Amino acid sequence: MANKNSSVTFIVSQKEHQSRLDKTLRERYPTWGRQAVSTLLQNRQVQVNGKTVWLGSWKLAAGDRVQISQPPDNKPAKPERFDRKWLIADEGDLIVVSKPAGLLSQATRAGGEDNLLSLAQAEFGKDVRIFHRLDRDTSGLTLLTRPGPVNAYLDSAFKKRQLVKEYLAVVDDPKDLAVSGVLRDYLAQHPQRRDMMQVVERGGKYAQTRYEMVGEVPLGVALRLWPETGRTHQLRVQLAHVGSPIVGDRLYGGRTHPRLLLHAIRLRLPEAPGFPSREWEAKSEF
C-alpha cells in the first residue's frame, strides 16, 4: 500500500525492459488507477535515474531506478457482487440503488471491468438497464429500470429537466465562492485529455449548477449542489474552475484522498399520469 507521506522507489526488472513508464506504473501499482498515474506524470512527480520524466511513453531499461515523490492514495476496492445494502427501493419496473465510489455504472467499450449494471443484472435479472448514470468515482443514487412505461416517464422527466438531482461535495478551500449562488459555464472536451472536460469561452455546451454551502466538515467545506443541466463531469469541472476542486478529484486537482468526495444524495421525480411524485435519499459516507 502506498504511503502518501513517503516516496516510492523500485528498480526496473529485466521483464520490464523497454516497457512504457505509464504501463509499468499501472502494472506495479494497480490500486492507484490509470488517472492517478497520469496525474503523477503531469505533475512531474516521477524520476528515472534522478531525472524528472513526464512522458508516459518513456521507455524504461532494466536496472533503471524509478522514484515517485508523492504516491497517490489507493482507489476504493471494487465489489465482486451486488451488495443488498446498496438497494434503496425496488418498485417493480424501477430500481433505485446507491452506487459505491470507484465502480463503473456500466461497461466501457473495452469491457472487462466489473460495473454496477452487470452486478445488478446478476442480482435482478438480465432485463435490467441503467437509466441514470454516475461517474465511476461518484457515489450515490442511480436509477435502473425494467421494461415498462416507467422508461418513457423517466425519459420525459429528464428531457424536460423535471427530475431534481441533489449532490453533496466536499471542497478544500471555497474562498472564491459566495455562500450560495449559481455556476454558469460552457464546457467542452479537453484538447489533450479525452477523459477530461474544461470550461471554454467559445463553443461548448451550457452548464448550470445551483449550490449552497453547508459548513465545515472534518475534510473541508461541504456544499450542496443542484445541477440543472447534465454535462459530463459538470460539478467537478465547474468547482475546479472557480478554484475549489472537490477533495479526492484525481482529474481536476482536488486535495489527495482515497476517494472523490462527491455523492448523489437525493433524487426527486415529478408527478405524471400514472406516476406519483417520489423522492429518495442515500446517506453519504463522508
Alpha carbon 18 to its chain's center: 32
pTM of the predicted model, to two decimals? 0.78
Average pLDDT over residues 20-42: 89
43-99 pLDDT tens trace: 899 999 999 999 999 999 999 999 998 888 777 667 889 999 999 999 999 999 999
Question: Does 84-281 match 8-68 at the fold level?
Answer: no
Question: E strands, the chain, where?
Answer: 8-11, 46-48, 51-52, 65-68, 87-90, 94-99, 129-132, 139-145, 164-171, 180-189, 197-199, 205-217, 220-227, 262-269, 278-281
Give me the residues paired with residue 169 across strands.
223, 262
Written out in words, the top-level CATH class of the domain with range 8-68 is alpha beta
Question: Which listed residue (73, 135, 172, 185) is catalytic?
Answer: 135
What homologous superfamily is domain 84-281 in, according to CATH? Pseudouridine synthase (3.30.2350.10)
Question: What residues does 125 pair with on adjacent strands?
Answer: none
Mean pLDDT computed over every residue of the chain: 91
Distance separating alpha carbons of residues 29 and 26, to the nearest angstrom: 5
User: Over 60: is that where the pLDDT of 277 sits?
Assistant: yes
pLDDT higher than 80, residue 3: no
Phi and psi angles of residue 37, each rounded to the nearest 5 degrees, phi first: -65, -45
- Rounded to 5 degrees, what are φ and ψ at 210? -85, 145
Distance CA 270, CA 161 (A): 10
Cα separations (Å) of 98 from 48, 190, 282?
A: 42, 29, 6
pLDDT at 194: 84
CA distance 129 to 118: 9
Kindly state the percentage of the chain with pLDDT values over 70.
Answer: 96
Half-sphere exposure of 86 (CA within 13 A, CB side): 24
Amino acid at 194: R
Give residue 248's pLDDT. Answer: 92
Domain boundary assignment for the chain: 8-68, 84-281
Residue 93 is a catalytic residue? no
